[in-house]
Amino acid sequence: MLVTDPITGHRFSDPSLLEQALTHRSAGSQHNERQEFLGDALLNCIAAEALYRRWPRADEGALTRARAELVRESALAEVARRLDLGPRLSMGPGEMKSGGHRRDSVLADTVEAIIAAIYLDAGFAACREVVLRWLEPDIAALPVGKVKKDAKTRLQEWLQGCSRPLPEYELIETRGAEHAKIFSVRCTLPDADLAAIGEAGSRRQAEQEAAGAMLMHLEKPHE
């Protein structure tokens, strides 16, 4: 029996695939981590193809940066929020109590798992159609062919251009409730007594903030 899911809009011939995609590992052994693995690969492929066709004159670097922008954790979490997936997640009581259904990492993983569920249920064409519908607002918002390099990449290129060693990143603190943690990361340069601190809701983004702060210091004129 075909069952149309009201949020994804896909008609599942095997609803158990969607049920598993919405199940966090804290809820039991039939969780969504394997689907997440497959969905990640499918998402990257679909995003890459969409950008390749949409931006015929963009070079590899611009396409790579744009794809990274589309599939980053916070962007996928926003897709999940637009679909209101949080309330539909099956989670263990501890994870639910700590606000796991609102956490970016959990929401992003769920989006990837649902992508895999649709693919396993109906094949690549059906999966591609749904994913492109989800990504369209974000693709349309990208500046064509001119997505800025992230701070860590720009810092690395700046240092390499000066024949200097690469920066080092260290997690120095985490604080806050489980569902709203703040990560503090220190960026240091091995060949200089210089450090910059970045803070954000994920370690990855905190590293980006620290790299940005370090780059601002390096590029600032010094007397």
Residues 90/24, Cβ–Cβ less than 8 Å:
yes
Euclidean distance between CA atoms 42 and 176, whole angstroms: 34
> Which of 5, 40, 73, 95 is flagged as catalytic?
40
Residues 60/76, Cβ–Cβ less than 8 Å:
no
Give yes or no: 112 in active site.
yes
Tokens matching residue 79:
């897709």
Nearest-CA neighbor of 219 among 165, 151, 147? 151
Please say whether the dihedral angle defined by the alpha carbons of residues 122, 40, 37 and 90, taken in this order, is positive or negative.
negative
Nearest-CA neighbor of 128 among 140, 116, 142? 116
Q: Could you give the 3-state DSSP secondary structure of residue 117? A: helix
> Which of 36, 95, 104, 112 is flagged as catalytic?
112
Catalytic residues: 40, 112
